Amino acid sequence: MDFQGSPIREMFYVTLVTMMKEGKYAMDNFGDLVLKTRSYRRFDESFAIERATLEHLMGLARCTASAGNRQPLKYILSADPVTNDRIFPCLAWAGYLKDWAGPGPGEQPTAYIVILVDKRIGENIWCDDGIVAQTILLAAVEMGLGGCMIGAIKKDNLREELDVPDHFKIQLVLALGKPAEKVVIEDLEPGGDIKYWRDENDIHHVPKRTLEELIVK
């Protein structure tokens, strides 16, 4: 969004973010969807996600842009508790929260998408993985779900657990579920700390650089 020279539009954006933080604004446009698509790390584990839901998300992801249209990304889908339990220990959660080991019983993801690179097609994927991952998370949030991109992976362990062939490189894991936490965006003050944090009410705060800092000219 471009707010330069438009104080009214900027005021609208600030108001929208405030209302989203306070839970007073329903999601009915793309701007809302982007603001609501946070990294969720705690879920309602009683809410099951069907494999058909994952296949729907993949149907959207496969239509996204790919560098040179090579489409080297492949996927492993998991929506069953047994496979989920094999994936979960291979992941690390929220590196900035040193006193939190990750979601506990009852708040773990109920589905995963493992993003692989097919080295037979090519290993230089440019930003394909980011495009796909964000598209999936946006679509998940639109469906009332949420998730988190995880790059801190015990890749050798995960390869063994899922019997991933050697010609696939493990790139990312998307953890998905019904969010069971509140995540809010905070403006990052100049010289402030970028680390996310949780307050006394267990609300997750994520500092974001301001538009003034991001826009060079």
pLDDT tens, residue by residue, 162-181: 999 999 999 999 999 999 99
pLDDT at residue 169, as a whole number: 98
The band of 18, judged by pLDDT with boundaries at 50, 70 and 90, is: low
Average pLDDT over residues 102-118: 98
Structural domain boundaries in the chain: 1-36, 51-177
Could you identify the residue written with the tokens 């809010």? 184
Phi/psi-derived region of residue 126, left when phi > 0, alpha when psi is between -120 and 50, beta in every other case: left
C-beta separation of 56 from 47 below 8 A: no
pLDDT at residue 16, as a whole number: 54
Q: Is the pLDDT of residue 85 over 60?
A: yes
Q: What does DSSP assign to residue 153?
A: B
The radius of gyration of the chain's CA atoms, rounded to the nearest angstrom, is 18
Average pLDDT over residues 69-85: 98
Q: Which CATH superfamily groups domain 51-177?
A: NADH Oxidase (3.40.109.10)
Show Cβ contacts of residue 209 under 8 Å, excluding neighbours closer than 6 positions: 188
